[in-house]
C-alpha cells in the first residue's frame, strides 16, 4: 500500500502540468547541495570552538620571469609589461581566490578585521607584498563602522616586511657563513652524484638554450622560465617538447630541496620560521597573546619547501602559486593539539590534512614542540658564526 501511494505521488508530480516545477525544484536542490558541499570542504568543522590560533605560509601568485635565457624568444621587455619578477593579473586573481577560500574556512573564527587579532609578514619582494595585499582584500572586507567608502568595500591592513639582506625569517638572505659552507658541500655532493645521470640532458639543454645548463640550479632556473611562459600561453620552442616539463620538473624539485638537505641546513634555513610559529603557539598556551588569532606569511615556493622539510616531511615539494602550509592550534578537552593542512594551489577546493611526522594523532603541542626543537636555532647569529660588532656604552 505504501509503495502504491508513493508511486502515485511521483506519477502526479511528473504530469505535464507539474513536470517543470518538479525539475526546477530538483535543480535548485542540487545547487544547494553542491554549495553546501563546497562550503563544507573548505570550512569543515571550524565552528566547533576548539581552534585558538592559526599560522599560514603561502606562496605568492603567478608572476613574470625574474630572468631569461640566451636563446629565449620572449626575453624582450614587451612580453612582460608588468616588469620582471612581478605579480600578474592572473596572480592577483589567484591571491584573491585564496583569500576567499581562507575566509570561508576561518570566517567564524577570525570575524572582522582587528589589529590585535592578525599579524601579516611578507618577503620584501614586490610580488609577495602585492599578493598579501590582494589576499587581505578578500580575507577582511570592511564591515559596519569599518566601511569608509560604500563604493569600495576594501580596507588597508598592515603588512610588515624586512629588507631581503636582513631577513632571517622568510627568504633568509641575512648573512650566515655556516649555512653557506654547508650548502657548498651539498651542492658539490649533488653535482658529483647527478653530473653523470643528467649528462645528456645538460648537453641537450645547453645546446638549445644558448648557454651552459650544467647543474640542477641552472635547470631549475630554466624550468621556471619555461613554466611561466607556458602558463602565459606563449608558444614554447619545439626543442622543449621532449624535456619540458616531465624531465626537468624532478630536477627543479630536487634543487629546491637542496637548500634544506641536511639537519644543519634545515636548522639554519627553515628553522627560524618553524621556531617563530612554535613560539606563538607556546605563548598562546601560556595566555601571553590572548587576542592573537592568525599569523600570515606571504612567501616564496622555497620558503614553503624550507619549512616543509624542516618539519620532517619526506615527500619532495614543488609548490604551485597560492600553495599554503597551515598550522592550527586547537584546545580540546583542556589539551592543546596541533593540526596541519596543505593547500596545493589557490584553486584547491579543500586543504589536505597532513600527518605530522613522528607525532601521534592527536599531536599534542608539547610533543610537537619536543619534535621540532632539533631544527629550531637558539641563537641564529651565533650558530651562523656571525661576529657581532662590539658596542661601547
What are the catalytic residues? 60, 301
Tell me the CB-side half-sphere exposure of residue 359, using CA atoms within 13 A: 23
| Phi-psi map region of 287: left, alpha, beta (phi>0 left; psi -120 to 50 alpha) | left
Which CA distances in Å does 192 have to 99, 118, 222, 252?
43, 46, 21, 17
Sign of CA dihedral 113, 162, 62, 156: positive
Cα–Cα distance measured from residue 300 to residue 60, given in angstroms and rounded to the nearest whole number? 6
Amino acid at each position: 500500500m505504501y509503495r502504491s501511494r508513493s508511486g502515485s505521488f511521483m506519477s502526479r508530480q511528473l504530469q505535464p502540468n507539474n513536470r517543470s516545477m518538479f525539475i526546477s525544484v530538483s535543480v535548485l536542490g542540487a545547487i544547494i547541495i553542491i554549495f553546501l558541499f563546497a562550503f563544507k570542504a573548505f570550512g569543515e568543522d571550524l565552528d566547533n570552538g576548539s581552534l585558538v590560533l592559526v599560522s599560514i605560509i603561502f606562496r605568492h601568485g603567478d608572476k613574470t620571469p625574474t630572468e631569461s635565457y640566451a636563446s629565449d624568444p620572449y626575453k624582450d621587455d614587451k612580453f612582460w609589461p608588468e616588469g620582471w619578477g612581478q605579480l600578474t593579473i592572473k596572480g592577483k586573481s589567484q591571491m584573491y581566490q585564496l583569500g576567499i577560500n581562507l575566509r570561508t574556512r576561518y570566517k567564524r573564527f577570525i570575524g572582522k578585521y582587528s589589529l590585535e587579532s592578525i599579524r601579516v609578514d611578507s618577503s620584501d619582494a614586490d610580488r609577495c607584498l602585492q599578493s598579501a595585499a590582494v589576499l587581505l582584500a578578500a580575507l577582511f572586507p570592511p564591515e559596519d563602522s569599518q566601511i569608509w567608502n560604500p563604493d569600495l568595500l576594501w580596507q588597508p591592513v598592515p603588512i610588515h616586511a624586512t629588507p631581503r639582506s636582513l631577513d632571517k625569517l622568510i627568504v633568509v638572505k641575512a648573512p650566515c657563513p655556516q649555512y653557506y659552507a654547508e650548502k657548498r658541500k651539498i651542492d658539490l655532493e649533488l653535482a658529483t652524484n647527478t653530473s653523470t645521470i643528467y649528462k645528456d640532458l645538460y648537453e641537450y639543454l645547453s645546446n638549445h638554450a644558448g648557454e651552459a645548463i650544467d647543474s640542477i640550479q641552472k635547470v631549475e632556473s630554466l624550468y621556471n622560465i619555461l613554466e611561466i611562459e607556458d602558463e602565459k600561453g606563449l608558444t614554447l620552442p619545439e626543442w622543449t617538447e621532449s624535456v619540458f616539463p616531465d624531465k626537468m620538473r624532478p630536477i627543479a624539485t630536487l634543487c629546491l630541496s637542496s637548500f634544506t638537505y641536511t639537519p644543519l641546513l634545515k636548522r639554519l634555513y627553515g628553522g627560524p620560521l618553524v621556531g617563530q610559529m612554535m613560539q606563538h603557539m607556546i605563548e598562546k598556551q601560556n595566555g601571553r597573546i590572548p587576542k592573537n588569532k592568525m599569523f600570515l606569511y606571504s612567501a616564496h615556493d622555497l620558503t614553503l619547501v624550507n619549512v616543509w622539510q624542516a618539519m620532517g616531511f619526506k615527500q619532495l615539494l614543488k609548490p604551485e602559486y597560492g600553495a599554503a602550509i597551515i598550522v592550527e592550534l586547537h584546545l580540546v578537552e583542556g589539551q592543546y593539539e596541533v593540526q596541519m593542512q596543505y593547500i596545493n594551489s589557490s584553486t584547491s577546493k579543500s586543504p589536505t590534512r597532513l600527518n605530522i611526522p613522528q607525532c601521534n594523532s592527536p599531536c599534542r603541542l608539547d610533543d610537537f614542540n619536543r619534535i621540532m626543537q632539533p631544527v629550531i636555532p637558539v641563537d641564529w647569529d651565533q650558530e651562523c658564526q656571525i661576529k657581532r660588532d662590539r658596542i661601547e656604552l
